[in-house]
Amino acid sequence: MTPMSEQYDAIGARYVSWKETPIPTYTEVPTVRKLLSGLIEGRSVLDLACGTGYYSRLFKQWGAACVVGVDVSETMIAAARDAESKNPLGIEYRVADAADLPVLGSFDLATATYLLHYADRADTMRGMCRSIAANLKPDGVLLALLPEPDYVMGKGETTQYRFTYRLVASDKDWSLVHADVHTDPPFSVEYRHWKRAVYEEALRSAGFIDLRWHRMEVSPEGLAKFGEAYWRDLLVNPMSTTLTARLSP
């Protein structure tokens, strides 16, 4: 498997095209927005695995006082900085590995939208969670967006959502998936669906409490635009989920 940083160095700004498809637009973003309501306004945010800065910019627009975006891929950070220079929002971007992150500050909120599952081992995930904890205030909140641990491979269609996938390998704690994303331009990506208990153990071992899993929702706009039948496969067998936790005071 390609190392994760190299994977996104190759994908680069092509990843942005995925963000314009129905799943991010009508399920991920509204779900994250709802979960952060009351938690983001006027707060400091550390956006881990920020990629091209898609969520970093939304967080600023949703009222965050300051946002620092971190990603291991120089190419993704270059795209994020390019967007910042074209439309300055005051976001700072850094290249760093979340598994070995220095203390950049004491943030109110940390976000990890599609980060933790890129850990290649459970121990790496524990390192990521320790790094996040070291950068949060006591009682600070973490929101993570993750591949759904209970996703059933092969159940339902995915083509209407602009991707197809195949199982590459599996282990007692994970399934490794290769996904082809049918956007213009297209790209491919590999990632793991880790078991729920692995995330929970990694977070608890780093001092997180109040772990809560939240189902992805489809926004009223998404339902109105595509109709209920379009979303059925996703709602019956969601491919992503959201996890929130709080650092013990």
Ligand X SMILES: C[S@@+](CC[C@H](N)C(=O)[O-])C[C@H]1O[C@@H](n2cnc3c(N)ncnc32)[C@H](O)[C@@H]1O
DSSP 211-233: EEEE-----HHHHHHH-HHHHHH
If one asks whether residue 26 binds ligand X (CB under 6 A), the answer comes out as: no
If one asks whether residue 71 binds ligand X (CB under 6 A), the answer comes out as: yes
If one asks whether residue 49 binds ligand X (CB under 6 A), the answer comes out as: yes
Distances (CA, A) of 63 to 40, 44, 47, 57: 6, 10, 14, 10
Q: How far apart are CA 208 and CA 200, in angstroms?
A: 9
Instruction: Choose between 113 and 241: whose C-beta lies nearer to ligand X.
Output: 113
If one asks whether residue 142 binds ligand X (CB under 6 A), the answer comes out as: no
If one asks whether residue 4 binds ligand X (CB under 6 A), the answer comes out as: yes
Binding part of the chain for ligand X, among 70-78, 83-91, 167-175, 225-233 by CB under 6 A, reads 70-78
Name the residue among 183, 161, 162 with its Cα closest to residue 11: 183
Q: How far apart are CA 232 and CA 238, in angstroms?
A: 9
Instruction: Choose between 185 and 249: whose C-beta lies nearer to ligand X.
Output: 185
DSSP 76-139: HHHHHHHHHHHS----EEEE--GGG------EEEEEEET-GGG-SSHHHHHHHHHHHHHTEEEE
If one asks whether residue 144 binds ligand X (CB under 6 A), the answer comes out as: no
Residue 68: CA count within 13 A, CB half-sphere: 19
Binding part of the chain for ligand X, among 72-80, 172-180, 210-218, 231-239 by CB under 6 A, reads 72-80
Touching ligand X, residues 94-133 (CB under 6 A): 97-99, 113-115, 118
Instruction: Choose between 49 and 198: whose C-beta lies nearer to ligand X.
Output: 49
Touching ligand X, residues 78-97 (CB under 6 A): 97
Name the residue among 26, 78, 24, 31 with its Cα closest to residue 50: 78
* Residue selected from 68, 72, 143, 206 as contacting ligand X according to rule CB under 6 A: 72
In the complex, residue closest to ligand X by CB: 51
Query: How many residues sit close enough to ligand X to count as binding (CB under 6 A)?
Result: 20
Residue ranges that bind ligand X, judged by CB under 6 A: 4-5, 8, 19, 49-51, 54-55, 71-73, 76, 97-99, 113-115, 118
